[in-house]
Chains A and B, each alone.
Chain A
């Protein structure tokens, strides 16, 4: 029997996803990362918080020591495109690496 793929089935699939989301929101702990959403527009997040949330949503976090800041700048801008990060989040993450990577100081030109 061939499956019928049409708008009705797509709507069912999307409904399933909505139910799954709702279940997670209802059961999820508010501890740990985040827990706030659209209504928290006024709140700001630190660079380390954005790093753990945005990068950690897909993969384990690499240690800041693994790359130099110059390398992190390349990697994070790459991930801005690959993971469609916002420009503001990208800057916050880079600022975090600037502070976290050992030996990073301002170099006079």
Chain B
């Protein structure tokens, strides 16, 4: 029995020793678990962590640098950004060489700066000057400096703009839209809009204007009150004509006018304008002047013609009440009485083949105009003048053009004449 117990104990001890040995042996031969690192791996990982920490530090430093730079740039932009008051100098300039029948050929130059001043939101000031040189009656050189525009406008809302000052009179649209030498395709103004014409240029007063959209079409209006023109009564060569440079009114009667325009197509505008006022100086009598104008402008690209067609036409009528001019102390000429009805207009077409590939041809522009101005033959300076003009232009840039034209002028009273004009027009 003892032997049996001893054997059992020995067996158990043997088994225990065997198991412990097996466990120890297994510990030495089993593969290491995945979540344990060797020293080498640990060092490598530690190095990577340090490198990433370093890179992160550099990134933060870069971001700080960029943020500082952004702040600096924003500060510079804010410091240099345009303020509420802004001034823009625009305008035009020209140089011309004119050869005309009966006169020596002559060169001329002029500049007309246009100062646009934004006085805060909705307030705009417009000023313009005509600066030119010429000779006076003594032959001395003189520089002419004429204020042509000086007005303040306020954009009241989307449909009404109010203004006051010296502004362009919209009787017709030539002076308002096409006057600058880099815009008009010919070298001078149409006869009704010339210095001796029957359409006013600018006037002093108040105005309201605006435009109302209707789909792709739009309607616009411009109404005004000004000093109005002055009837010339005491000049034997010009009695009955209107002087539109009437900046000091010669009577208490003001002149009212306006223009209604429609743009049924984006490329087309048509308009009708009217002006009426008393024009005689005190003591001369009650003489009213009614001016009317009709205008049409159309300009579009025509693929078939591989270019741009530009068509403009205007009619102007001037009806001044019948009056008797002279005699008086200041008007020593014989009394003149006549119906003072005048009329004029022009039809003008221009074409520029800008779609062709040739670099020279595409910058050429051909133009044609027929204009006329009729004044009573019994009036001083009265005549029936018809003029034909053809022009060839070359565009150096969109706002710089070299123009040439030939004009033939046929008149009833004055002798026929012609003129050849070369002109460089620059839009500033």
The chain A residues found within 8 Å of chain B, CB to CB, are: 1-6, 9-10, 13-14, 17, 20-21, 24, 28-29, 31-43, 45, 50, 53-54, 56-63, 67-68, 70-71, 73-75, 77-78, 80-89, 107-109
Contact = CB atoms under 8 A, between A and B. Distances in A.
B294 interface: yes
Contacts of A31: 301-304
Nearest to A17: B296
A107 B13 CA distance: 89
7 contacts: A42-B215, A43-B216, A58-B178, A75-B88, A81-B209, A83-B177, A107-B77
Interface of B is mostly: strand
Given A34-B216, A62-B398, A109-B78, A21 B270 contact: yes
A60 B78 contact: no
A77 B124 contact: yes
B218 A86 contact: yes
Given A29-B304, A58-B183, A78-B124, A13 B88 contact: no
Contact of B267 (A39, A42, A57, A86): A57
Interface string B210-226: 11111111101110000
B318 interface: yes
Interface in B329-371: 338-339, 341-343, 345
Contact of B261 (A67, A82, A84, A88): A84
A32 B90 contact: no
Contacts of A83: 176-177
Nearest to A91: B158
Contact of A2 (B77, B86, B90, B376): B376
Contacts of B163: 81
B313 interface: yes
Interface of A is mostly: loop
Nearest to A68: B82
Given A24-B298, A81-B163, A107-B78, A60 B399 contact: yes
B297 A58 contact: yes
B407 to A, nearest CB: 22
A54 B177 CA distance: 12
A28 B302 CA distance: 7
Indicate the size class of the contact surface on chain B.
35 or more
Given A5-B341, A45-B216, A88-B213, A38 B300 contact: no
- Which 7 A/B pairs are nearest by Cβ-Cβ distance? A41-B215, A70-B82, A32-B301, A84-B220, A87-B158, A53-B266, A60-B398
A86 B118 contact: no
B311 interface: yes
Contact of B183 (A59, A78, A84): A59
Contact of B159 (A81, A87, A107): A87
A81 B159 CA distance: 11
A38 B77 contact: no
A48 B211 CA distance: 20
B287 interface: no
A26 to B, nearest CB: 13
Contact of A36 (B117, B216, B298): B216
Contacts of A9: 317, 343
